């Protein structure tokens, strides 16, 4: 049986914090979608009665409708990725992967961290540091000394 990978403490903590932040981001987008949906259901007449111009009320209601769609789409993607990350990273923390498999998990973590930088900077940075720190310590090939 191959030697199972044991995740070091620093990358483990960074990964846990990354998962927590990613889960919080998911909750925020779900709440944002619900709030935007409630706001988009405000009757136009209520807006007009409170002094809005008809054109402004139409634009506002259309915009909130679009925001609902955007927030739901982001929440669905985050839910899928959070589920995958939770499954994979927990297995990594519980030493369920061999050293060879761990290389690919760290590569995945670095790639997802890079993608996350565009919309969830904190998670992206945490995942990148965790993956790159471990990858550089464990898997970079030692340089041969020239004679």
DSSP 141: P
pLDDT score for 84: 96
pLDDT score for 22: 94
d(CA 106, CA 62): 42
For the chain, percent helix, then strand, then coil, each to nearest 5? 80, 0, 20
pLDDT score for 144: 55
pLDDT score for 146: 47
Residues 5 and 97 sit within 8 Å (Cβ to Cβ): yes
pLDDT score for 100: 87
At 137, give phi and psi (nearest 5°).
-75, -45
pLDDT score for 142: 59
Going by C-beta distance under 8 Å and a sequence separation of 6 or more, which residues neighbour residue 64?
36, 39, 40
Alpha-helical segments (H) within 94-139: 99-116, 121-138
d(CA 137, CA 1): 24
d(CA 83, CA 112): 13
pLDDT tens across the length of the chain (147 residues): 578 888 888 889 999 999 999 999 999 999 999 999 999 999 999 999 999 999 999 999 999 999 999 999 999 999 999 999 999 999 999 999 998 898 899 999 999 999 888 888 888 899 989 888 887 777 666 555 544
């Amino acid at each position: 049986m191959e030697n199972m990978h044991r995740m070091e403490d620093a990358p483990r903590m960074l990964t846990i914090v990354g998962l927590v932040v990613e889960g919080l981001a998911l909750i925020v987008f779900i709440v944002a979608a619900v709030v935007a949906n409630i706001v988009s259901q405000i009757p136009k007449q209520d807006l007009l009665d409170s002094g809005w111009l008809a054109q402004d009320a139409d634009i506002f209601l259309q915009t909130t409708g679009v925001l609902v769609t955007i927030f739901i789409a982001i929440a669905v993607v985050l839910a899928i990725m959070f589920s995958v990350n939770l499954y994979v990273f927990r297995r990594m923390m519980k030493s369920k992967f061999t050293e060879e498999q761990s290389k690919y998990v760290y590569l995945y973590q670095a790639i997802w961290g890079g993608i996350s930088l565009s919309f969830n900077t904190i998670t992206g940075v945490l995942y990148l540091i965790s993956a790159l720190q471990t990858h550089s310590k464990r898997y970079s090939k030692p340089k041969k000394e020239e004679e």
